[in-house]
Structure 1
Amino acid sequence: MVFIGLQSLATLVLLGVRSVAAAANGSVPMQVRLAYAGSHGMTVSWNTYEHVQHPTVHYGSEVHNLCETAKSDVSVTYQTSTTYNNHVELSNLRPNTLYYYNIPGSNATTPYNFTTARKAGDHTPYVAAVVVDLGTMGRDGLTTFVGKGAASPLAPGEINTIQSLQQFQPTYDFLMHAGDIAYADYWLKEEIQGFLPNTTLGDGAKVYERILNDFYDEMAPITSNKPYMVGPGNHEANCDNGGTKDKAHNISYTVSICMPGQTNFTGYRNHFRMPSRQSGGLENFWYSYDHGMVHYVQIDTETDLGHGIIAPDEPGGSENEDSGPFATLKDQQTNWLAADLASVDRAKTPWVIVAGHRPWYISLSGSDQCLDCQDAFEPILLKYGVDLVLSGHVHAYQRNAPIYNGTVDPNELNNPTFPWYITNGAAGHYDGLDTLDRPFAYYSRYAQDEAYGWSRLTFHNATHLTQDFVASKNGSVLDSATLFKKHEVGHHGKPGKGGAQS
């Protein structure tokens, strides 16, 4: 197997050594990850090979004095999982403060650290990083070669997206990942294409879990230091890549091949703890949080669209994944979204950013354009003055004009009324990049399908936001645009009527 240059090889070798050590001592923490937990908290999560009786985190504001302790009873696993997921919430933390922490049994030589969220109303400039559609970079994922039928391998020695994010880690406050995490469900497709050796369907569960663990190991140097805010994508639904065809043998595989524990977003639901409890949302599917001058909202484009609309991964949906719904009330997600946006204090958090996996404005026809998502969400986003909508799913980059119901805002980025839409699913995974339809859609302002990369959001102040598309291979900026919003506050939760930029 060809790895991605010496840096990646060394990283993966170290991870392999750590995994062997962890297997020998089943309580050694691995895959450490953080998530904001409301305005004054942080959730610390990690995996172990054995159940932990009382997951514990020691922490403090001084590196040599971890005088505070938090515990929980949450050490959970599921059928076919090879590990336990441990979650501990740290509460009553000071805003925008550096904390150090450690987990008993860790083989880390120094404590981990994180910085808490900025207080809502703090208009100090900062940067957030965004990826969508990011898979493993190494043994079972994207490398310098691919199987028959895949595309866009990395160039020899090329820096990949995980390495790029690690390289830029000191420059951003946290990382958003709006769906399609790890691509463990590509295991069968990779075998059919000759990238992985063939296994039996029964043993496919082991390959699936190995790919998941590889990805979380690779991400740990970032996620143990920066909050990792995730959302659901279609590749979290189950184990079979939404249906895989073996054309050579005329076999069509479906969700029926998945082993217990590998359907219905099970791994995703166990592995993460997003701030849904603090924001009135639902599990890791929809939630919100504040960070400085921005209110962030994660929505679920895969299930629970509401208004009588069947989401793509629900029974009867376009991908027939038989996943969800998860809500117990009618229109629960859309009602929550409207109430959440209505409650935003735009004087404190003038910017409102919404992330969801599937786009509805994209230069690619067919099911990749989620018109059902548009019907469910777009009127709400307009009503409450959402500034930017982020998505992926299509493995390319496209920055659009602000738009509503197919009409481009005449102000473009100069104080528009309509939300600004950006799709960036070009982070990288085994199957490569998609080819956008040409000519690009009339609302597209920049699009590319040839380079891997991620988005950098720079919040300069209450009126100016810059989005850069950063090429992973060399850190260059391939596209940059700045949105101006006047953000005059009218009624609570709704922006007032804006004027032209002076």
Structure 2
Amino acid sequence: MAAPALLPLLLLLLTLALSSCGGAAAASGAPVGEDYVRPPARPRGGQRKALLGLFPWSKKKASASASDPQQVHISLSGEKHMRITWVTDDNSVPSVVEYGTTSNTYTSSSNGESTSYSYLMYSSGKIHHVVIGPLEDNTIYYYRCGGRGSEFQLKTPPSQFPLSLAVVGDLGQTSWTTSTLNHIKQCEYDMLLLPGDLSYADYMQHLWDTFGELVEPLASTRPWMVTQGNHEKERIPFLKSGFQSYNARWKMPYEESGSTSNLYYSFEVAGVHVIMLGSYTDYDESSDQYAWLKADLANIDRKRTPWLVVLLHVPWYNSNWAHQGEGDSMMSAMEPLLHAAHVDIIISGHVHAYERTERVYKGGINPCGAVHITIGDGGNREGLARSTITRNPSGRCSGKRALGTAS
């Protein structure tokens, strides 16, 4: 466990070894510790500003130069390719990225696409998406967006083990979020996984802009692979369909993985096949997501990717009173598919606490089941989920009500 003087940083050491069931070995056990006492509240970041007079239709203040790239973040886009996403206030800026392996020397360039959206009285900036590559593995690249502005630097993931994945859920944008991001910055990691609830904008669209600015120092250097949570829905009946902002700003490699929706997709990195599922889109046996998942699982080569990891927002195994039972119907529909495929780890957020199970299936311990990990409080404004149903329910290996990340 983390030093008491620091924000708790929950480290989940995922040992890359094969188990007898054809998957990877579970994380080593840890006893249930004492309850974590949260220190006094700190001032909130961008969300505090929202409560002090900015309204959902407010547009954020323009940058010093409307042409400069803002809110830069990167994500995988198929094998050996990376998607660069950024926003400009100037609609005339081209969607182009120049890049190379030497600072200020760009030997390649790629053109892409752009989009924008309106939400009530808010209008987004120009959102650029450019895919660059093919790129070398485990290599530092320097890049510039839109032909001007600051130079950024990224590092591509390795092609084989060892691989380090940072995991954080339910981030938000408070001073606790900043502390969490600072801890992540101190770690050596290749990619960040986020199982939903990014900005906590909740209809206040300018908070997507402040979130993009907040995470840019990290998200512009390592790929951030995300899935949606309930705070991304932003649906207004008869006026707005859900996930408009999320889909415009955080485009993931769904097309590259054969999906028809940005809400669920898969990708491979080193020896890991990662599946991102959508808790807030249809998932029953007649749904597109179910059909896609079944096909995706059937095409996995476990010799190429011996680890199989799934992320979704709502946990299926949850000993906390918070959000109790919300994942039951999705688990009923999809757990048999994942069990048959020998999924190793299922990571979720939503519940603002840390919890890890033994290998479980259909509500009980099973040596060939998946380890379920809830990592649901990256620092968001809602605080911790403190009440558990029982002290140590069957299958629960470790739990803690604390802020933090995993790696």
What is the TM-score of this pair, normalised by structure 1?
0.66
Q: CA deviation at 1:67?
A: 1.5
The letter of the residue matching 1:93 is L
Aligned to 2:200: 183
In the TM superposition, residue 306 of structure 1 has moved relative to its aligned partner by 2.2
Q: CA deviation at 1:360?
A: 1.3
| 1:298 shift after superposition | 0.4
Q: Given that residues 94 and 147 in structure 2 are in contact (C-alpha distance below 8 angstroms), is that contact kept between their aligned partners in structure 1? A: no
Q: Is the 8 A contact 2:96 2:147 kept in 1?
A: no
Instruction: Give how far 1:173 is off.
Output: 0.2
2:77 aligned with 1:37: yes
How far the C-alpha of 1:77 sits from its partner, in A, is 2.7
Alignment-mate amino acid for residue 98 of structure 1: I
Residues 442 and 177 of structure 1: CA distance in aligned 2, closer, same or farther (over 3 Å): same
Aligned residue in 2 for 1:126: 163
- In 1: Cα distance, 2:137 partner to 2:66 partner: 35
Per the TM alignment, residue 58 of structure 1 is displaced from its structure 2 partner at its CA by: 0.2
Give 1:179-218 correspondences, 5 Å limit.
179-185=196-202, 208-218=204-214
Where 1:399 maps in the other structure, the secondary structure is: strand
User: What is the aligned partner in structure 1 of residue 126 from structure 2?
Assistant: 84
Give the distance between the partners of 2:255 and 2:379, measured in 1 at CA: 31
CA distance 1:229–1:52, change in 2 (3 Å)? farther
Aligned equivalents of 1:73 and 1:387: distance in 2?
Answer: 36
The residue correspondences of 1:391-410 to structure 2 (distance < 5 A) are 391-409=348-366
Q: How many matched pairs? A: 349
In structure 1, what is the Cα distance between the partners aligned to 2:242 and 2:363? 33
| Partner residue, 2:141 | 99
Q: CA deviation at 1:163?
A: 1.9
Look up the SS of the partner of 2:123 in the other structure.
coil
1:294 is aligned to 2:272:
yes
The correspondence of residues 113-262 of structure 1 with structure 2, limited to 5 A, is 113-119=153-159, 122=160, 124-138=161-175, 160-168=179-187, 171-185=188-202, 208-238=204-234, 255=236
**Structure 1: distance between partners of 2:332 and 2:284:** 10
Paired letter, 1:30: Q
Answer whether contact 1:37 1:275 (CA < 8 A) is retained.
yes
CA contact (8 A) 2:138 2:157 kept: yes
d(CA) in 1 for partners of 2:377 and 2:294? 30
Counterpart in the other structure of 1:72: 112
CA contact (8 A) 1:358 1:368 kept: no
Distance 2:302 2:372 in 1: 20
Task: Confirm or deny: 8 A CA contact 1:230 1:284 kept in the other structure.
Answer: no
Counterpart mapping for 1:292-441 below 5 A:
292-307=270-285, 330-365=286-321, 367-369=323-325, 370-409=327-366, 416-437=367-388, 438-441=390-393
**C-alpha separation between the residues in 2 aligned to 1:68 and 1:98?**
14
2:183 is paired with a residue whose SS is: helix
Question: After superposition, what is the alpha-carbon deviation per residue over 1:366-409, rounded to whole angstroms, capped at 9, x for unaligned?
Answer: 75431011012100110001100000111100011110001202
SS at match of 1:135: coil
CA distance in 2, matches of 1:279, 1:136: 31
After alignment, is 298-307 or 79-88 more displaced? 79-88
The amino acid that maps onto 2:293 is: L
Please state whether the residue corresponding to 1:423 is helix, strand or coil. strand
Q: Given residue 182 of structure 2, which amino acid in structure 1 is its aligned partner?
A: Q
Which protein has the larger Cα radius of gyration, Structure 1 or Structure 2? 1
1:8 equivalent in structure 2: none
Matches of 2:281 and 2:379, distance apart in 1: 24
Residue identity opposite 2:252 in structure 1:
M
Per-residue deviation, residues 304-352 of structure 1 (Å, max 9, x unmatched): 1122xxxxxxxxxxxxxxxxxxxxxx42111211211121111111000
Contact 1:129 1:172 in 2 (8 A): yes
CA distance in 2, matches of 1:426, 1:227: 21
Q: Contact 2:356–2:373 at 8 Å: present in 1 too?
A: yes
Partner of 1:453, secondary structure, is coil
Deviations 1:27-84 (A, max 9, x none): 2110000000111200000011232453110001222321111112323333323322
2-side partners of 1:398 and 1:24: how far apart?
44
Matched residue type, 2:302? R
Cα distance, 1:81–1:161 mapped onto 2, change above 3 Å:
farther
Report the residue type matching 1:47 in the other structure: V
Question: 1:448: which partner in 2?
Answer: 400
Secondary structure at 2:66's aligned position in 1? coil
Q: Give yes or no for contact 1:401–1:408 (8 Å, CA) kept in 2.
A: yes
Q: Distance in 1 between matches of 2:347 and 2:271?
A: 18
Match of 2:55 in 1: none
Q: CA-atom RMSD, angstroms?
A: 2.3
User: Is the 2:156–2:190 contact (alpha carbons within 8 Å) kept by the matching residues of 1?
Assistant: no
CA contact (8 A) 1:30 1:46 kept: yes
Q: CA–CA distance in 2 between the matches of 1:68 and 1:366?
A: 50
CA contact (8 A) 2:323 2:351 kept: no
- The question of whether the paired residues in 2 share the 8 Å contact of 1:52 and 1:75 is answered with no
- Structure 1: gaps spanning 5 or more residues: 6-18, 144-158, 186-204, 240-254, 308-329, 410-415, 457-502
Please list the CA deviations of residues 438-459 of structure 1 after superposition, one character each: whole Å capped at 9, or x if unmatched. Answer: 323221111111x200111xxx
For residues 280-308 of structure 1, what are the alpha-carbon distances to aligned partners after superposition, in whole Å with 9 as ceiling and x for unaligned? 1233211111111111110111111122x
Higher relative contact order (CA 8 A, sep 6+): 2
In structure 2, do the counterparts of structure 1 residues 216 and 448 end up closer, same or farther at CA, with 3 Å as the change threshold?
same
Could you say which residue in structure 1 is the equivalent of 2:258? 280
TM-score (normalizing by structure 2): 0.80
